[in-house]
Structure 1
Amino acid sequence: MHSRFLNPLSRILLVGCAVGLGASSMYGQSSSSTPSAAAEAPVSRIDIFAGYSYLAPKGTVQTPQLDGTTFSDSYSSIDYGAIISGAYYFNKYVGGQVEYANHPDGNNDGAQTAQAGIIFRFPLQGMTPFVHGLAGGVRLGGPNDEPYAAHNYTWGPALTAGGGLDYDLPFWHHRLGLRLFQADYEYFHANYGPEVAFGGRANVGNARLSTGLVFKFGNIVPPPPVQYSCAVSPNSVYPGDPITVTGTATNLNPKKTASYSWSGQGVTVSGSSSEGKIDTASLAPGSYTVTGHVTEGNKPGESADCTAQFTVKQFEPPTVSCSANPSSVKPGDSSTITATGVSPQNRPLTYTYQASAGTISGNGNTATLSTTGAPAGSITVTCNVADDKGQTASGTTTVDVQAPPAPAPKTQTLCTIQFDHDKRRPARVDNDAKGCLDDVALNAQRASDATLVVVGNTAPAPEVKGRHHRHEVEPNLAAQRAVNTKDYLVTEKGIDASRITVRTGTTGTNEVDNYLVPAGATFDNDVTGTTAVDESSVKAQPRKALAPAHHHKKKKAAQQ
């Protein structure tokens, strides 16, 4: 009888150990990658277990005999059985369980149990150990050792205590598991009655081993872990400026009281709430990190840390910009210089000024530049600013002193030619005028954008017989002189006719006055009292020389 019990039990234990070792190896490999994730992974709400079960009872039935004696008959192991159970979990660890197991072995030799109780599980990564305690009933048959006795199936109380180990299989989103083993101790009691050969009582202790599949339904989602973030404001300061660090915790349990703390290497943080104050007075320039901690318990996920960084800056020098108004002045005028200084730490500032020419005076952020005595051109003004720590900055601006305006071009008076030599042709340009007109032509050639104005004049003619007034003059003689002069300059000197204007004047002399009019000059503004000549009615006369008069006199004398 004992060999029937030990051999199957040994086989089941060996299989269970082998599977357990393999699963443990697999569990060790997976846990190394995410050792903390499994404890927080969702666990099932309902577990259904179905599988094979082996029952090894240990007990006897004292059966009364006809001769007044009793016969002791022992229970033997039942190698084949089935088991099914369902567990509903109220939380991650505790649930209620119902179970049915059937171990048949003939008509009058077997056990069927129906029980319910409590189950405790301990979810790990990929593994779930459990223990349970059950109570219920057993339908127990007596040992079937005929012809000595026969005991019909009888219901009695049953108690079970044990535990096991489930392994999560990677199928159906981990909804399937393998129960590596379930090892239980069971106690059965059965009263077969007082009948002879059919009665007696049985108190049986049983070892039960089971294995099979676990089907998982629903989820018990663990509470999310506490998360903590923190920020400093401002995150960049100068020594002595205050900084506030604020922590924000999420997923806190409102039924628990959270506690806060702050720390930092080389940093003093005051405060025991979600807000702290950082003292920067003694900190050297550089970057610093402050760490916050929040906790509401000692369990995983009930505390969290956060870090935030801030920078202590070196004191910065001031900056300055410089401007002039107006930026362009006439000689001797003044310009207002404005300096705009900025200190990043709002330090008091002082201002000074220098100028490359002229004189500058003033204090504060404005000064006056005087350009008296300064030459035309650009004057550079330098604006200097200094804070109370001796840090300085400079900026420049320029003021343009305009050059005096150039005088407007004027009409230039050139030479004058006379018409007193040839009494018979008083408008003829004779050879004596060549020197003057050559100079006029040279001036016109040098100033290609200038024009020439030729002004003819005439003196009153002497009184002659037949004239009523002594001061009468030959009509158009002044205009003819001007036209003849222009013709000489055009034909003899090659001056473009469009550059020469002819006019008459009122000087009362027998001459032609020549003028050079530069570009931009206005002749009528510079020389008044002249009249334009209508060149369509006054035509130029040729410069042919007269035959000598003394030839005629010599011929007449020879005839005499």
Structure 2
Amino acid sequence: MSQRRFRNIGRYALAACAVSLGSASLIAQTAAPSGTNPSRADVFLGYSYMGNHGVVKPSNIRFSSVDVGAIGSGAYYFNKYAGLEVVAVANPDGQNDGFYSGYAGPIFRAPMQNFTLFAHGLAGGIRGGGPNSEVPATLEHEPWTWGAGLMVGGGMDYDLPFFNHMFGIRLFEADYRYTHLNYGPATTIPTAGNLGGRANLGSAELSSGILMHFGHIVPPPPVTYACAVTAPTGTIYPGDVITVTGTATNLNPKKDAAYTWTSDAGPVAGTSNVASVDTKTLSAGTYTVKGHVSQGMKPGQFSDCSATFTVTAFQPPTVGCSATPSTVNPGDPSTITANGVSPQNRPLTYSYSATAGTVSGNTSTATLQTTGVAPGTITVTCNVVDDKGQTASQMTTVTVSAPPPAPVVTKSLCTITFDKDKKRPTRVDNEAKACLDDIALSAQRDPQSKLAVIGSSEPTEKMPDHKAAERAVNEKEYLVVDKGLDASRISVYTGAAGTKSSATTLIPVGATLDMTGLTPVDEAKVKAVPRTAHMAHKKHHHKM
């Protein structure tokens, strides 16, 4: 069973080695690293399990597995994919044996974004002791001796995202180790426990541990430096303080950077990537600021930049002028606002003048008084002057409007009632003549006006809407026939007064009748009743 177990472990180790070798070879040939800069050197320290399969011949004493061991290796890479590796393994505490091994040889890797596959083939020397003789049990193991060995395998590493990817984890390393040991001539009479003989040992070794990376295959890109004037924005005038900002790329975050500045404009203040230049003594012109950043004296560790700025001579102020409101009634004030701007922020003084009215104020706002001003347009001038005597002016206008005309309104005239004649409740009787005469007189005085006759009824009347309409139509008939008014000037409506009445409203030109609660009368359906109809009826009844 022990021999079969070793054989299986050996097969698994060989399969893992084949997969690692094949994967590393294929990726190295067909795929470049994705966004990686592989390390120049790796150091590995970890745990090792050594599953041994073999015997010392001719005594056929078996080797046992070593469950606890340590492994360490150092690899130096010539490029992204190939390098040399040195491996030391200590498996000192087997059940009846122990081994100390050292190997060297080529190593190949396939670096990816976070993982690296590797494979190696190494040769070296092994110092092995044991195994113990099983019969008799009192014999000691074979003495420690040196032999030759081969180591072939591979594995997978994972880079940790800490400390700039300096550390990693070797997820697994699977190797097949071949060992040849010669314990001397074989004998059946051991001396000091030594039976002698030779061993050709095949071992499957599994390892895992911590990986440390040093250096990089691809050298860091050279430092670059760009600088620009970041303040003030826009035009620069004497007295402005210029801020220049340098932006360095590809700096080593583990090293401090030194910054220096010079300028043909005079002294530059600043020891970081930001510097300032005072322009108060400068004349109009263009100047240059130069910056230098350094992390060492080697090429690629320093860089220079330059930025230019132009100082412009002082410019005169500008001013905007506005009025709120821009149209006023006679006697109403208007607020004048002057928006003065000095390009170099010089102090400004304000003054105002107007073609009519009076302006009071000497700040950025003033008040125009229009008392006694006739309707028309007033021109207001806003003036500013800076402390160097440079001036600017701007004008605005205020319109004084004419007084608005009095509003044209309707006029309610007299109202006639229809509650005297019970038999003819819609007839215009003689008592209404005085009111109707006044209505006709009002209409004749204003020949452009119109009349609105509004008839009403009591809710208890039969067909109240019809009676209200007849009252309005009968009044219109009287005004047209008896008073000679133009029928086109009179409109008839029904209203909601709730009484047996007819009200009249005079509508001058420009006025509008309030139609709330009014309904136009269809004069094609409601006809006027003559005032003499009752008398004719009485005569006819007497003859009967």
TM-score bracket relative to the smaller structure: 0.3 to 0.5
TM norm structure 2: 0.37
TM norm structure 1: 0.36
- Rg: which structure is higher? 1
